[in-house]
Structure 1
Amino acid sequence: MSRLGIYIHVPFCGRKCAYCDFYSVNWSKSAAVDYTAAVLRNIRHYGDKARTVDTVYFGGGTPSLLTAEQISSIISEIRSCFALEESAEITLEANPCTLSAEKLAELRKIGINRLSIGVQSMIDRELKILGRMHTAERAEQAVLEAARAGFDNISCDLMIALPDQKPEDMRFSIDRLAALPIQHISAYILKAENGTPFDCAEIRDRLPDEDSTAELYLAMVELLEKQGFMQYEVSNFAKEGFESRHNTRYWKCLDYLGIGPAAHSCYEGKRFAVERDLSAFIAADVQQVTVTDESPCGFEEFAMLRLRLKEGLILDDVPEHRAELLKKLPPLLKEGYAETDGERIWLTPKGFLMSNSVIEYLVF
């Protein structure tokens, strides 16, 4: 059977960020204990020694709020119930405030080999606007401590188009991040998501307009690539060989199993999601899921996800759609939204900015 990625959604946060619409609740010691026990039950339920797991991703929330012992027990259970590949990529998302030299050494020892650190900005004023608990100095210290602990696959999150952000502010954060011993940057355009504290006129009026946001994005791509972080997906940049193996599963329609409240899966021919409810997850012997797609990864979804990647869509993978795709392509080439070598179609950075519209025109 095909290889498998496992996603563990850890729904705890020390404090909810004002822009975030991901599912999370306040951390407590007892809730973390009960949550971990529920994760272990679900791993045993889905366990299949015929499935080789080559990526594990602890996302959230703030997974680094779990103890090293709790994380270790989850990794051990995956190893017991699946065929966990020795060279598996095992990622932990972390808030700089939850990391210490001691904690990092423990994480490295239990098998975490990739860290994704939620930095977001290297300017204290911007971090305060975002409601982050750390300072730029603490973020820098966390990265340096991680490198000293032996981590050689470190990713940092960066947000752009922040309230009142100027191009020079973004450049400052990129330059300061790029000077650190990191190998990957995930860079996102801030959106005032519905229902979040940022969903208000006071914030929206301070966000860069559409043209300014486009200029920031294109400048960011150029700056990161000059620093050696090559774009491989709409929002992701890596030094050679350090692309996220787990996240690439999503864009290539490969199998992944999600465990935890609000986790999503594409597993055994179906897409399904777990309810956004920690109490329900803890109470159930097996997580309750809702099937969201009975037959995922058809042409439209496959092409849409592949076009998020810089390598683009390989036409031999969709031979029955080759002629129609190439017929639609000329206006996109003329406007600089896409490129082709006759065997692949891929979007340019300008095309990535308009990806929803471009992909809809090309694929649907």
Structure 2
Amino acid sequence: LSIGIQSAVEKELALLGRIHTFSQAKQAVSWAREAGFTNLSVDLMSAIPGQTLVSYEHSLQEILALKPQHISSYSLIIEEGTPFFERYKGNPPVDEETDRKMYEMTQQMLADRGYARYEISNYARPGYESRHNTKYWTGEDYLGVGLGASSKIGKFRLKNETDMTVYLEKLGNKEAVTFVEENLSEEDEKIEFFILGMRCMSGVSLKKYKERFGEDASVRYGKTIQKICDMGLAAREEDRLFLTAKGIDVSNLVFEMFFV
């Protein structure tokens, strides 16, 4: 069960447009455990406008006190021209140095508490890695059930209706509530093999690439793979290609190199 807490600071939650308080989030965690859930994941967000290193550390400590099995930690990115940009305009953005310190604090504190980083933004206690997310990163099929749920079956990304009224009306009329959101080309799948798979600390299997696409990865991506390895952004171990610590820090730059 995943609970989107995001922050333990009320004004930060309000700024994010969340309708819950942190005390309500803690109550939700308590109720979930009482209901029998033994595998809980929570979300934590950094770089919220107005957030300080002190307030972020407070949120991190409060999240850890809940003792979830899994933590997803994301840095908020606000792009100009979006509704989020308009909402946050007037609130001081977090500078790069502070954002970096938050990132490093997250890694250190979670590691100290026994959480292993298994993906760029995800940490888990041993054996509690997200099976759904892992399927997404490795390009496997997954089925989403319910309002607004997403699925992937073969080359198709599917989406369920997001409007509750429409969703219920269609169900009542025995109409499909799922539509095709994207039809992936083989080119899309090849790129995603790397840019999603390499988000995982274990990286990707070049042998699996060949089995899946019928060609060696070097045919299309040989120069890219060599370049990122030469730059110290990635490394190879047997048939696996994975990001180095340096590469993780600039992962978006690395992934852009696969669009050749």
1:304 matched residue in structure 2: 195
Paired residue type of 1:290? V
Query: Following TM superposition, by how much is the alpha carbon of 1:136 offset from its aligned partner in structure 2, in angstroms?
Result: 2.8
Summarize deviations over 1:115-162 as a string: whole Å, max 9, x none.
211211122332233233333333334323433443221111111111
1:223 matched residue in structure 2: 109
Query: Following TM superposition, by how much is the alpha carbon of 1:170 offset from its aligned partner in structure 2, in angstroms?
Result: 1.9
Give me the whole-angstrom Cα distance separating, in 2, the residues matched to 1:148 and 1:141: 10
Out of 115, 118, 133, the residue aligned to residue 4 of structure 2 is: 118
Match of 1:258, SS? coil
Give me the whole-angstrom Cα distance separating, in 2, the residues matched to 1:352 and 1:166: 24
1:206 matched residue in structure 2: 92
Out of 130, 139, 142, the residue aligned to residue 244 of structure 1 is: 130
Alpha-carbon distance change, 344 to 325 in structure 1, aligned in 2, over 3 angstroms:
farther
Give me the whole-angstrom Cα distance separating, in 2, the residues matched to 1:140 and 1:264: 27
Alpha-carbon distance change, 138 to 352 in structure 1, aligned in 2, over 3 angstroms:
same
2:234 matched residue in structure 1: 338
Gaps of 5+ in 1: 1-114
Give me the whole-angstrom Cα distance separating, in 2, the residues matched to 1:212 and 1:192: 16
Q: Does 1:354 align with 2:217?
A: no
Paired residue type of 1:354? V
2:120 matched residue in structure 1: 234
Aligned length: 249
1:144 matched residue in structure 2: 30
Query: Following TM superposition, by how much is the alpha carbon of 1:243 offset from its aligned partner in structure 2, in angstroms?
Result: 0.8
Query: Following TM superposition, by how much is the alpha carbon of 1:165 offset from its aligned partner in structure 2, in angstroms?
Result: 1.7
Summarize deviations over 1:227-254 as a string: whole Å, max 9, x none.
2121112221100000111121111111
Percent of aligned positions that are identical:
35
Larger deviation, residues 147-156 vs 347-356: 347-356
Give me the whole-angstrom Cα distance separating, in 2, the residues matched to 1:282 and 1:168: 45
Shift >6 Å, 4+ stretches: none
Give me the whole-angstrom Cα distance separating, in 2, the residues matched to 1:172 and 1:130: 17
2:213 matched residue in structure 1: none
Out of 204, 209, 214, the residue aligned to residue 318 of structure 1 is: 209
RMSD between superposed Cα atoms in Å = 2.9
Paired residue type of 1:357? L
- Please give the TM-score of this superposition, normalised by the length of structure 1: 0.59
Summarize deviations over 1:101-125 as a string: whole Å, max 9, x none.
xxxxxxxxxxxxxx21121112233
Q: Give the number of the structure with larger relative contact order, counting CA–CA contacts within 8 Å between residues 6 or more apart.
A: 1
Q: Does 1:157 align with 2:43?
A: yes
Alignment of 1:1-364 (within 5 A): 115-192=1-78, 195-196=82-83, 198-200=84-86, 202-203=88-89, 206-260=92-146, 262-274=148-160, 276-284=162-170, 285-287=175-177, 289-290=179-180, 292-295=182-185, 298-319=189-210, 320-322=216-218, 325=221, 327-329=223-225, 332-333=228-229, 336-362=232-258, 364=260
Paired residue type of 1:183? Q
Alpha-carbon distance change, 140 to 148 in structure 1, aligned in 2, over 3 angstroms:
same
Alpha-carbon distance change, 180 to 340 in structure 1, aligned in 2, over 3 angstroms:
same
Query: Following TM superposition, by how much is the alpha carbon of 1:309 offset from its aligned partner in structure 2, in angstroms?
Result: 1.1
- Please give the TM-score of this superposition, normalised by the length of structure 2: 0.80
